A and B are shown apart, each in its own frame.
Chain A
């Protein structure tokens, strides 16, 4: 039996921020994070998760279960503006900014697929989700820098919902990593580039800055 813990990863602090803010962080170990309505019995391979002592948390945002590993870069943000735009616009804006940052050092073409995925061709490289109430909007995304898709395949079951472009493909067939596609710089360089790119968001919103 898997114990599901309350979400307590570094970006949870953003929920308490009163102004726009963002945080880029690299998980210290491997976690599995269930979506708001996901349950362990149909989202993860419980026997392996228990055997390998992987922490399972539940987040407030939508979307399907994800794995966070030290080879992922997590991009989290809180937007508190009253006039914040639609979720899809926020997804698209973040995707544009992140793609812009990656493409500075990469030759491949990225696109937004499904509702909010970033993909290279038909292969997913980043997924994101959101929670919002009338005061704020919390966004976070998992960018697969160098984790083997086989890892996701090993611990996660096929999600109950999938974007059209996935067409039933397993995690191993559906996900790729930046490194796998030939991205050369290290994860810290990428983090810097995305930070710069997100800071360019400033003119449109109240100040956004990195908190750690």
Chain B
């Protein structure tokens, strides 16, 4: 019987660990309790013992690679267990036992402390009638015996290829010699060095670090903050005029004057009026943390994914300085040259999806910040001025706040203040 030993949670509740050292090699006999591998998680280095007597058939991953909790770590051939006996063994092992607690799991895991998760039910498969040939064992899939020509079968055996993994192109899906010759084995395990794997219907690509970070941050925000979003529109003809008036002058000083520096400035002025929006909640210590600095994160869409560099102390910067910093940070983001220092310390975030398209959104708060301002596209539409319908340039805004921190009234007052400044940009200079 082949036994797939999955990487267990070694008690920190983490999802992955690094392989530091293999104590065994393929073909080696092991006894229950013999150390198989040394793994490192964030804080713990642990020797992982074998849960079974047997012979090592495969090691999933190399030193330095990352293994995922619950994914295959070692494959062990357990001698003398075949056919129905193996299936019974598999069932027996994972059948719930009355009053069985975590302690018993520990015992099953050969006395290693912590919750040593043993293989999943589907990971233990009985050998076929042909005995324990590797080709008769599949992990996490129902076992099947591939249809194959004798030549293909012999060639696969010589090349140490599991013929059941080869897609057959012959009659009734029969694996041919050509199929074996063209077969490219997918890597087992889930190390970070996985390649792109193209299947018939889908293509598997490993997660990039940036995508993992985005995923973690987004989920953390959605789980931790009480999101609430308000939407507004503001007529910004005055702002358009001001920008048009100074655009060339900025250009001569190597600064690109977009609307974003004004929006940053307007947000900072509004944050000074409504400090809840520039704060964070420290539940563990039963207190609020009000930021005295105005560090504005700017969400930047790059080919690799979303990054949020920070304009530090934006309250102390002029429009031109903010414009220059935005350009510099965007260039660095696109060149993947942002440092940790560029990214840290944000107290409020602005996401300007309008530069790509779109009017409104429900932006996800850059947790633990309390708010994020989404900026949409500027569109021409009729507005009422002095009781007359006239063409106007309207900017749409979406403000998401952490409703634990910011009440609805506070959010509305904040966005109203931002709108005041954007409708009358000279007011930005008056405070």
Which A residues are closer than 8 A to B by beta carbons? 35-37, 60-63, 82-89, 91, 109, 111, 113, 115-116, 121-122, 128-134, 137, 158, 161, 164, 167-170
Partner pick for B47 among A88, A89, A91, A133, CB 8 A cutoff: A133
A62 to B43: give the CA distance in the assembly, Å. 5
Q: Are B285 and A111 in contact (CB under 8 A)?
A: yes
Chain A residues closer than 8 Å to B284, beta-carbon distance = 111, 113
Do A169 and B344 form a contact, CB below 8 Å, given A87-B12, A132-B113? yes
Q: Are A86 and B40 in contact (CB under 8 A)?
A: no
Chain B residues closer than 8 Å to A130, beta-carbon distance = 43-45
Within 8 A of A (CB), among B197-231: 220
Chain B residues closer than 8 Å to A111, beta-carbon distance = 284-285
Q: Are A109 and B285 in contact (CB under 8 A)?
A: yes
Of the candidates B46, B341, B345, B368, the one having the most CB atoms from chain A within 10 angstroms of its own CB is B46
A201 to B227: give the CA distance in the assembly, Å. 43
Chain A min CB distance to B402 (Å): 16
A87 to B39: give the CA distance in the assembly, Å. 14
Q: Are A37 and B18 in contact (CB under 8 A)?
A: yes
Q: Are B340 and A88 in contact (CB under 8 A)?
A: no
The digit string for B100-117, where 1 denotes a CB below 8 A from any CB of A, is 000100100011111100
Q: Are B282 and A122 in contact (CB under 8 A)?
A: yes
Do A89 and B285 form a contact, CB below 8 Å, given A82-B111, A129-B43, A168-B343? no
Interface residues on B, range: 35 or more
A to B contact number (C-beta, < 8 Å): 101
Q: Are B43 and A116 in contact (CB under 8 A)?
A: yes
B382 at interface, CB cutoff 8 A: no
Q: Nearest CB to that of B103 among chain A residues?
A: A83
Do A62 and B113 form a contact, CB below 8 Å, given A111-B284, A168-B343? no
Chain B residues closer than 8 Å to A89, beta-carbon distance = 11
Do A115 and B42 form a contact, CB below 8 Å, given A84-B113, A134-B110, A167-B344? yes
Chain A residues closer than 8 Å to B42, beta-carbon distance = 62-63, 115, 161
B49 at interface, CB cutoff 8 A: yes
Q: Are A168 and B344 in contact (CB under 8 A)?
A: yes
B20 at interface, CB cutoff 8 A: yes
Chain A min CB distance to B337 (Å): 16
Partner pick for B49 among A113, A121, A134, CB 8 A cutoff: A134
Within 8 A of A (CB), among B1-35: 10-14, 18, 20, 33, 35
Ordered by A's residue number, 11 sampled pairs between the chains whose C-beta atoms are within 8 Å are A37-B18, A37-B20, A62-B42, A62-B44, A86-B113, A87-B44, A91-B43, A115-B43, A121-B289, A133-B46, A168-B340
